[in-house]
Amino acid sequence: MTRPALWTAIAETLSADIASGHYRPGEQLPTEAQLAARFTVNRHTVRRALADLADRGLVRSRRGAGVFVAAQPADYALGRRVRFHQNVLASGRMPSRQINRLETRHADQREAEALGLPPGAPVHVVEGLSLADGVPLAAFRSVFPAERFPDLLARVEAEPSITAALRASGVGDYTRAQTRLTAKAARGPLALALGLSEGAPVLRTVAVNIDEAGHPIEFGTTWFAGDRVTLTYAPD
């Protein structure tokens, strides 16, 4: 009887560890060196086993960070009111935001048209990552009319919540006027930021949010990691 390859046995052992809850969704597996020592094999054999687990969707590799147990995709509702914090809490996970860019610059043509501004008008740009249980779900860029919200960047810097910053700026409620959804491939900095392989699928949404009077206040683009989010339409 032919003995199974060592990497197959290692993959099955790690699969059983994951199924038993020894390593939970979102948690990092031991390093290749640690696994090689555990199973008394070389790192190439461990790499084959991890590749098999990745092919089965049990683990995900993040460049420069390691190998993590794959989480089940989080439901993310797209409706007239899209609130990241509420959506992630509803999926049973802990939301957080990482702000990577706060800048005031001139609007490009598309931004100006979306926000109803004259060409080259000043806009605030907020970029960052949206995370659930510390795992990046999406990268985002939000653009706001600077003259209407002069203190917005300072508010976001103090508390990384767009909703809270807008409320403090006098916008009690806002809704989504339109959303465009497109499938894309993660490349370069986007793949790196989301911890995805080059060319991995992402879902891009481009949206305009309006205040209670119908005035555009936010032009937002979000890139969701395709294997971590299930986008659903929820009219509200």
> For residue range 184-204, what is the model confidence (pLDDT) as tens digits?
999 999 988 887 778 888 999
pTM over 0.85: no
What stretch(es) of the chain map to CATH 3.40.1410.10? Answer: 74-233
**Rg of the chain in Å (alpha carbons):** 21
What stretch(es) of the chain map to CATH 1.10.10.10? Answer: 6-69
Backbone torsions φ then ψ of 85, nearest 5 degrees: -55, -45
Q: How far apart are CA 65 and CA 211, in angstroms?
A: 40
Q: What is the pLDDT of residues 107-147, one digit of tens each?
A: 999 999 999 999 999 999 999 999 887 878 899 999 999 99
Give the list of residues 6+ apart from residue 164 with CB closer than 8 angstroms, or none: 155
Match domain 6-69 to its CATH number in 1.10.10.10, 1.10.3210.10, 3.30.420.10, 1.10.600.10. 1.10.10.10
On the CB side of 14, how many CA atoms lie within 13 Å of its CA? Answer: 32
Q: What is the pLDDT of residues 81-114, one digit of tens each?
A: 767 777 777 777 788 899 999 999 999 999 999 9
Match domain 74-233 to its CATH number in 3.40.1410.10, 3.40.50.300, 1.10.579.10, 3.40.50.1980. 3.40.1410.10
